[in-house]
A and B are shown apart, each in its own frame.
Chain A
Amino acid sequence: MSNRYRKNLLVCNGSSCQQASDADLVAFINFKLKEYNLEDGIKVVQSVCSNKCSIGPNIIVYPDNVEYSKVTKSDIDDIIIEHLLNERIVERLVFDKENGNGVAPIKQYRIALRNCGFIDPEEIKDYIEKDGYDALAKCLSKYTPEEVTQEVIKSGLRGRGGGGFPTGLKWEITSKSVSDQKYVVCNADEGDPGAFMDRSVLEGDPHSVLEAMAICGYCIGANKGIIYVRAEYPLAVKRLKIAINQAKEYGLLGKNIFGTGFEFTITIKYGAGAFICGEETALIHSMEGFLGEPTLKPPFPSVSGYLKKPTNVNNVETFANIPAIINKGADWYASIGTEKSKGTKVFALAGKINNVGLIEVPMGITLREIIYDIGGGIVNGKKFKAVQTGGPSGGCLTEKHLDLPIDFDSLTAAGSMMGSGGMIVMDEDDCMVSMARFYLEFIVEESCGKCAPCRIGNKRLHEMLTKLCDGKGTMEDLDLLRNLSVVVKDTSLCGLGQTSPNPILSTMANFYDEYYAHVAEHRCPSGQCKSFMLYYISEENCIGCLVCARKCPVGAISGEKKKLHIINQELCTKCGVCMEKCKFHAVHLN
């Protein structure tokens, strides 16, 4: 935190808050501060997601640590007059801890997100004040590349992009590849729908990624770095560009860094909306201007990557950990987490949970702590059913996993995976068969089509799941579904197809009764699959007003004024309009 100022206003600038606010709040606050002649003593900092998206926009006044929620333009005068001028807290805007909306940052431990929200990401001085670029200076002036690599190995850091490969080991392998040119690539293609931790790092602390890439370049012997970022993240791109320019100005990127003769430059390449480009070989092809199709490994990028040169690919969050590891030491880092998964992990909590947003927790925390202590439990007090981790490549964890300490290996053993850290929470109203179908629909759209098992197999799997949801499935389909899932997993070319049947296999393992009910009992236990539902009009409540008949888009409702109306089940498309429009609660569902 910058202490040149009397107070700092941290305005959450995560996308959720930005979009919930009525206009550009930051500009407006700055304008108001000028009006009150406060602009010299008060600094407005654009911070990132504080895991309270559902009550955004949020503003924290620092150092007082008072948080205001659902702030609109019209509240700014109050905050300035009451809090900044008169040191009185504006109670009406303080969010209500009693109602379960309050998340004290309990059990959270910020390493990757250490600066997010505490510095102005567009101001390199703020980063430098927080020991920024110290790690790079230390590496270049005091240690050999081998020593730095050993330190990263010793920290136990594993890749946060999904695979969990030991980062130091990857650097060591790439450093041993002999070539006239090597590359450091930062994978910022974050494609898992529902995960946005990489974006938050890029938007909130871009310099930490640049610094880490330079350190990596020093270790492996590369002088060029490339960030491959999703085109859907315009704010992240803007901040990266600003950061790169500032670092160049300060001589922290470019030639002869810290007078050591070490040279490192960073450029940006853009994705164009293809999930598969997150896979490292596909990403490299995309960087070269081709279709984002994966290729068989080996050769690994460490040996032959971008333009056939040795290339070290790491994820944004992986990089964000590096400066902290160098500054505080491998032993410190290795003291956090579990035996085989060190440090912390950022998760994106979403779905039917009270506190939606990003959290960073030590490896080994239990699901129960995440969902109930940090997440504030399930929306509307409903019953927890499952949480999907690892996005479309992962699986679901259920009640029986609530006390499982979470790390790379325990998640894999439970039939799911860490993935990039998306966590979608589901309650009793969610149908697991539909959920599996949703993920397969995503996969069918995103499969690049290069290998047959993934291109055709996933399509067949999706068709079978649709058949089940439509109430036309047979017991044979269930066997076929499981068998084909295994075949697709075993025979696909890349990680996409090798993991895409996971949502099916894990829901079948944990919720077989739901699959069984769809087939044998012709019902959807959670009542989500429309085809099993029948709408009917009850004699008791229907007054014969004709409203439902008029509103029905397919003309399935017949009846005369003041007489009972009837729904023709053959025609009914189960859109639910009749039920919504009936003022007398005469339309029912079973």
Chain B
Amino acid sequence: MMTICESNVAKIEAICKEYNCDKGELINVLHQTQNTFGYLPEDVQEIIAENLQTSLAQVYGVVSFYSFFTMIPKGKHPVNICKGTACYVRGAEKIIDEFKTLLDINIGETTADEKFSLSSLRCIGACGLAPVVLIGDKVYGRVTLDSVKEILDEYQ
């Protein structure tokens, strides 16, 4: 859990102000806050709720509903495996298993050294390169079982 220092509180308040503290803009506010901090822990949500004059329950409800928002800090190298239909048909399932085995974590988790986190996503529209894996912003296409280890080694 992050402890929030004053300057961070000010940052959150500034984001809320940018959207006129309009609670209808909650999702835009959350996007920008997550861009700034990387994740949305409870105390951050509390400050947003206060500023937009809505309940924490409302904010938490929205954060937990949408898969884009996370309350857990991601690893230094977030691994995202595409589970779109095209990737599935071309063997994404096996690639996911290989990452799980090698990193020894499940989808939605972060390794103990906070180096890698694992998640799946739906279709980035690179269906011609299926199966596709994203590490940070870098895209790996036509990933095979053998190449998984090589890919991870790039980040060791």
How many Å from the CB of A192 to the closest CB on chain B? 8
Is there an interface contact between B65 and A274, defined as CB atoms closer than 8 Å?
yes
Contact partner of B141 (CB less than 8 A), chosen from A19, A199, A291, A438, is A19
Q: Any chain A CB within 8 A of the CB of B72?
A: no
Contact partner of B127 (CB less than 8 A), chosen from A275, A290, A291, A348, is A348
Contact partner of A20 (CB less than 8 A), chosen from B62, B68, B141, is B141
Q: Any chain B CB within 8 A of the CB of A488?
A: no
Q: Any chain A CB within 8 A of the CB of B39?
A: no
With A15-B125, A286-B27, A426-B89 known to touch, is A291 a contact of B101 (CB < 8 Å)? no
Q: Any chain A CB within 8 A of the CB of B76?
A: no
Q: Any chain A CB within 8 A of the CB of B121?
A: yes
Contact partner of A273 (CB less than 8 A), chosen from B23, B67, B101, is B67
**Quick one: closest B residue to A351, CB to CB?**
B89
Is there an interface contact between A291 and B65, defined as CB atoms closer than 8 Å?
yes
Interface residues of B in 4-35 (CB under 8 A from A): 23-28, 30-31
Kindly list chain B residues whose C-beta atoms are within 8 Å of the C-beta of A307: 24
**Quick one: closest A residue to B22, CB to CB?**
A289
Bound complex: CA of A430 vs CA of B91, how far in Å?
A: 11
With A289-B62, A352-B89, A438-B85 known to touch, is A553 a contact of B27 (CB < 8 Å)? no
Kindly list chain B residues whose C-beta atoms are within 8 Å of the C-beta of A426: 89
Kindly list chain B residues whose C-beta atoms are within 8 Å of the C-beta of A272: 27, 30-31, 66-69
Bound complex: CA of A350 vs CA of B128, how far in Å?
A: 7
Kindly list chain A residues whose C-beta atoms are within 8 Å of the C-beta of B68: 231-232, 271-273
Bound complex: CA of A439 vs CA of B127, how far in Å?
A: 17
Is there an interface contact between B126 and A53, defined as CB atoms closer than 8 Å?
yes
Per-position 1/0 for A47-72, Cβ under 8 A of B = 00000111010000000000000000
With A291-B62, A351-B86 known to touch, is A20 a contact of B67 (CB < 8 Å)? no
Q: Any chain B CB within 8 A of the CB of A310?
A: no
Interface residues of B in 32-85 (CB under 8 A from A): 58, 61-62, 65-69, 83-85
Is there an interface contact between B129 and A270, defined as CB atoms closer than 8 Å?
no
Is there an interface contact between B126 and A15, defined as CB atoms closer than 8 Å?
yes
Is there an interface contact between A199 and B89, defined as CB atoms closer than 8 Å?
no
Is there an interface contact between B121 and A232, defined as CB atoms closer than 8 Å?
yes
Contact partner of A194 (CB less than 8 A), chosen from B121, B123, B141, B145, is B123
Q: Any chain A CB within 8 A of the CB of B130?
A: yes
Bound complex: CA of A288 vs CA of B130, how far in Å?
A: 36
How many Å from the CB of B68 to the closest CB on chain A? 4
Kindly list chain A residues whose C-beta atoms are within 8 Å of the C-beta of B89: 350-352, 424, 426, 430
Q: Any chain A CB within 8 A of the CB of B151?
A: no
How many Å from the CB of A267 to the closest CB on chain B? 10
Is there an interface contact between B127 and A356, defined as CB atoms closer than 8 Å?
yes
Q: Any chain B CB within 8 A of the CB of A408?
A: no
Kindly list chain B residues whose C-beta atoms are within 8 Å of the C-beta of A191: 122
Kindly list chain B residues whose C-beta atoms are within 8 Å of the C-beta of A442: 122
Most buried by A among B24, B67, B125: B125
Is there an interface contact between A14 and B125, defined as CB atoms closer than 8 Å?
yes
**Quick one: closest B residue to A56, CB to CB?**
B128
Per-position 1/0 for A351-372, Cβ under 8 A of B = 1100011000000000000000
Kindly list chain A residues whose C-beta atoms are within 8 Å of the C-beta of B61: 291
Is there an interface contact between B67 and A194, defined as CB atoms closer than 8 Å?
no
Bound complex: CA of A360 vs CA of B150, how far in Å?
A: 39
Bound complex: CA of A426 vs CA of B85, how far in Å?
A: 11
How many Å from the CB of A359 to the closest CB on chain B? 13
Most buried by B among A16, A54, A270, A426: A16
Q: Any chain B CB within 8 A of the CB of A428?
A: no
How many Å from the CB of B12 to the closest CB on chain A? 16
Kindly list chain B residues whose C-beta atoms are within 8 Å of the C-beta of A54: 128-129
With A273-B68, A292-B65 known to touch, is A350 a contact of B25 (CB < 8 Å)? no
Contact partner of B24 (CB less than 8 A), chosen from A14, A56, A288, A448, is A288
Per-position 1/0 for A250-274, Cβ under 8 A of B = 0000000000000000000111111
- New A-B pairs, 19, CB < 8 Å, besides A16-B141, A580-B145: A16-B125, A16-B129, A19-B126, A19-B141, A20-B128, A191-B122, A193-B122, A194-B123, A195-B123, A196-B125, A199-B125, A273-B66, A290-B62, A292-B66, A351-B85, A351-B90, A352-B90, A391-B85, A426-B89
In the assembled complex, 19 residue pairs joining A and B whose CB atoms fall closer than 8 Å, in A order, are: A15-B125, A191-B122, A193-B85, A193-B123, A194-B123, A196-B127, A231-B68, A270-B31, A273-B121, A289-B26, A290-B62, A291-B61, A350-B130, A356-B128, A391-B85, A424-B85, A430-B89, A553-B101, A575-B97
Q: CB within 8 Å of B: which residues of A?
A: 14-16, 19-20, 52-54, 56, 191-196, 199, 231-232, 269-275, 286-292, 307, 348, 350-352, 356-357, 388, 391, 422, 424, 426, 430, 438, 442, 448, 553, 575, 580
